[in-house]
Amino acid sequence: MISDLKNALAHDFGANRILHEEPLAKHCNWRAGGPADLLVIVRTTDELVKAVARAKSHSVPFTLIGFGANVLVSDRGIRGLVILNRAHRIEFLSESIVETDSGTNLAVLAKACAQHGVGGLEFLIGIPGTVGAAVAVNAGTRTEWISTIVSSVKVLPRRGELAWFEPAELAFSYRSSRLKHTDEVVITARLLGKPDNLKYLVEKMAQHLQVRKNQPTGPSAGSVFKNPEGDFAGRLIEAGGLKGFKVGGAEVSNMHANFILNTGTATATDIKNVIAHVKREVKKVFGVALEEEIRYVGEW
């Protein structure tokens, strides 16, 4: 099936765009993880839909990845087809509504909106990743979430045709949505902003980036754990004496305890073992069950 799918994708996209046994560490922020059986980079939503359709028609599982900002790929890699989503069209439908493809980088989108005088999206400037992933996990800051600006989302369902969904149909919640728990694919999102002044928007983006400057640098997936209600995961981890805890090349950051860094040699297993240890210790000391924000993909 893999061989047949490879031939079909080569026919659709060209043989040079279909990669075999491609190391996924090259494509994920943690810089860890094994190979993909097959990998294709799609550049438009039409290509994205076609790649998904090809995988389904050949009964091959597919995994969609944006910039790998919030995923941990197994050291054994991912079986089937990995689709790297680089569909990045941005179109302004009005002075307040922007329509953008799911592979659009959030920082690029925030800057484009500012240049067009569309406010309300500047908080996206410091969030790594793509629009599709952000919608699926309801990404945001401590005070602003993408669900609050979603007007509608075009989705490719498990079966059937492309369809637009309203926010109420997507079951948004803290760092989650219906889309996080299904194999539906985000194709396009319409986001609702508001007319605003370019100078003000640039200043707001600078403020958001300044906050991010106080976060650790180096390969990581950002915040690993969701904040439990009424508290902060980083505070609990630090209070449990876990800053600096290390397994192999994976280490709990000494700057921000909710970050786990790849210090240069970490495997995905190292990172997962650090996560497991942190969860056990926080549960033992504080009775709080931390829940991951990050997504595990591949053969575990």
Cα 168 to chain centroid, rounded: 22
Task: Point out the catalytic residue in the list 47, 74, 175, 220.
Answer: 175
Q: Is position 223 annotated as part of the catalytic site?
A: yes
Among the options 22, 47, 292, 293, which is catalytic? 293
90-212, CATH topology level = 3.30.465
The amino acid sitting at 82 is: V
Over residues 12-66, the pLDDT tens digits come to: 999 999 999 999 999 999 999 999 999 999 999 999 999 999 999 999 999 999 9
Residue range 167-189: average pLDDT? 94
pLDDT score at 300: 92
The CATH number of 2-85 is 3.30.43.10
- Told to judge if 175 belongs to the known catalytic residues of this protein, a careful annotator would answer yes
State pLDDT tens for residues 90-100: 999 998 999 99
Supply the pLDDT for residue 127.
92
Residue burial 279-298, b: 16+ Cβ < 10 Å; e: rest: bebbeeebebebebbbbebb
Assign a CATH topology to domain 233-297.
3.90.78
Identical fold for domains 2-85 and 233-297, yes or no, is no
Residue 214 has pLDDT above 80, yes or no: no
Domain ranges of the chain: 2-85, 90-212, 233-297
Q: Which of 74, 152, 223, 253 is catalytic?
A: 223
pTM score: 0.93
